[in-house]
Amino acid sequence: MTATYWEIGRRIVELDQGGEKRAEYGASVIKRLSKDLIAKCGKGLSKSNLEQMRRFYLQWQIAETVSGEFR
């Protein structure tokens, strides 16, 4: 679960926010994403949960090596 939450946080930051700590359009990204994911996957992906996953990723970013493998 930890790796899943970290990966969801990474995708929010890198894909939806373009690598920035906050998207210019703020919380609306997470709110929209939450609605879409709940409709597709069910419970557990609320706005507050996604915000926590995003913060978890930002606190525990793992550097990649030149080969693209995680250290």
Q: 69 lies in a domain?
A: no
- Report the pLDDT value the prediction gives residue 49, as an integer from 0 to 100: 94
Domains in the chain: how many in total?
1
- Report the pLDDT value the prediction gives residue 25, as an integer from 0 to 100: 58
Q: Average pLDDT of each block of 10 consecutive residues along the chain (71 residues)?
A: 89 72 65 91 91 90 61 52
* Owning domain of residue 26: 2-59
Identify whether the C-beta of residue 70 lies closer than 8 Å to the C-beta of residue 23: no
- Report the pLDDT value the prediction gives residue 40, as an integer from 0 to 100: 93
- Report the pLDDT value the prediction gives residue 33, as an integer from 0 to 100: 87
- Report the pLDDT value the prediction gives residue 52, as an integer from 0 to 100: 93
- Report the pLDDT value the prediction gives residue 38, as an integer from 0 to 100: 94
For the chain, the distance separating the N- and C-terminal CA atoms, rounded to the nearest angstrom, is 20
Q: 67 lies in a domain?
A: no
Largest Cα–Cα distance of the chain, in whole Å? 38
